[in-house]
């Protein structure tokens, strides 16, 4: 997974960072979905070394 070569142009860096952010957001979303607890926070997640808040203030 990932590119074997570092991005060399501004556009490539922008696409790389957008892809990375999308993957990170998706992983957090999946961690929240998979948590069976009813608390506002997930259980401790060893991947992120923290609990994740399930609700938003939006």
> How far is the first Cα of the chain from the last one, in angstroms, to the nearest whole number?
33
Secondary structure percentages of the chain, helix, strand, coil, to 5: 45, 5, 50
pLDDT value for 18: 95
29 phi and psi, to 5 degrees?
A: -60, -45
pLDDT value of residue 7: 72
Tell me which residue of 17, 6, 29 sits closest to 48, measured CA to CA: 29
Q: Which pLDDT does position 8 carry in this prediction?
A: 81
Output the CA–CA distances (angstroms, integers) from residue 37 to 2, 13, 21, 54, in the order listed.
Answer: 33, 38, 26, 10
Is the pTM higher than 0.75? The answer reads no
Residues of the chain below pLDDT 50:
none
User: What integer pLDDT is reported at residue 14 of this predicted model?
Assistant: 92
């Amino acid at each position: 997974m990932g590119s074997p070569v570092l991005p060399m142009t501004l556009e490539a860096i922008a696409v790389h960072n957008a892809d990375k952010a999308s993957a990170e957001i998706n992983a957090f979303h999946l961690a929240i979905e998979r948590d069976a607890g009813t608390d506002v926070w997930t259980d401790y997640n060893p991947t992120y070394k923290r609990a994740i808040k399930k609700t938003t203030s939006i």
